[in-house]
Structure 1
């Protein structure tokens, strides 16, 4: 049985309201601007993405980024994105806050732009596969090993097809500006499997526990109210 269920995605931003306008267009979601400066992106009544305003600027390449499908690059570029790199099958863009994301242009009409998440893992393909296996144990889903990367597919509740884990040579040097939230009944089970709490629920009023996975990636674990 999975140790947790997928809840949503969180993106840090210098201006959350402005970035919500950008990503709502890219992902085809409804932007809701909150009085505290944060924002959420929703499909119907479900929150798929939180955009949280932070004071620290982006300083390094994101360790977790979104891949999206689109009929062209035009809408994203017109909304304020810029080209970072061009590859044969996709184009790397930067959003108005500098967050990298990849656009896969499709010939057919795109009904759901949210394609997948891609997670950088320091080390080789074997290490990327180990992290994929860890997250599959946490969230459920099916681990697929490809030449050069691994992925977790069929994650219950996820609004995308998979999380791809790819090896990179560089170490993690800063807090991830994109992370996922999960819901669990048992924080102790996550700790037993190798997660580590960084900030406890209730600290300064927060309603969740900030944790890191065995590779040092931050995520937030929500538990039922007592």
Structure 2
């Protein structure tokens, strides 16, 4: 079985939505942008552009806000990323239980539950190696 790795929001303005949820949830804060990246941009005379993905961290699972321009009717706006040690085994079990595989990537598999809601199975070992 797995555990919640992240809760992911598809949104148009990740920084704005992340700030909203960080202020709403006790103990959560927006994850800082890497200082080395900011320094490198500054050295080049460039301003940082809005991040396509913004994370907030707190006492529970991390929450990810990722830019998705426009609404896609085939995609739910919020989904779980579930971390597991045996992705292939769990995907097989879930498929036998009525889930559907949408696509397979090197570190994760996108699936739909029996009612069509998307979720992601993250291979913990492969993600750590990457």
Q: Per chain length, whose mean CA-contact separation is higher, i.e. which structure has more relative contact order (CA < 8 Å, sep 6+)?
A: 2
Q: Does 1:40 align with 2:55?
A: yes
Count of residue pairs the alignment pairs up: 105
1:50-98 per-position Cα deviation (integer Å, ceiling 9, x unaligned): 111111248xxxxxxxxxxxxxxxxxxxxxxxxxxxxxxxxxxxxxxxx
Tell me the TM-score normalized by structure 2. Answer: 0.69
In the alignment, the residues of structure 1 paired with residue 98 and residue 7 of structure 2 have an alpha-carbon distance, to the nearest angstrom, of: 21
In the alignment, the residues of structure 2 paired with residue 33 and residue 51 of structure 1 have an alpha-carbon distance, to the nearest angstrom, of: 14
Aligned residue for 2:29? 30
Equivalent residue runs for 1:117-156 within 5 Å: none
In the alignment, the residues of structure 1 paired with residue 70 and residue 62 of structure 2 have an alpha-carbon distance, to the nearest angstrom, of: 24
Structure 1 or 2: larger strand share? 1
Aligned residue for 2:100? 196
- Gapped regions of structure 2 (runs ≥ 5): 34-49
Q: Give how far 1:36 is off.
A: 4.4
Match of 1:216 among 105, 116, 120: 116
Tell me the TM-score normalized by structure 1. Answer: 0.42
**1:195–1:212 contact (8 Å) kept in structure 2:** yes
- Gapped regions of structure 1 (runs ≥ 5): 59-172
In the alignment, the residues of structure 1 paired with residue 112 and residue 23 of structure 2 have an alpha-carbon distance, to the nearest angstrom, of: 31
The structure-2 alpha-carbon separation of the partners of 1:177 and 1:54, relative to structure 1 and needing over 3 Å to count, comes to: same
In the alignment, the residues of structure 1 paired with residue 32 and residue 61 of structure 2 have an alpha-carbon distance, to the nearest angstrom, of: 12
**2:4–2:61 contact (8 Å) kept in structure 1:** no
Structure 1 or 2: larger helix share? 2
Aligned-residue Cα RMSD (Å) equals 2.3
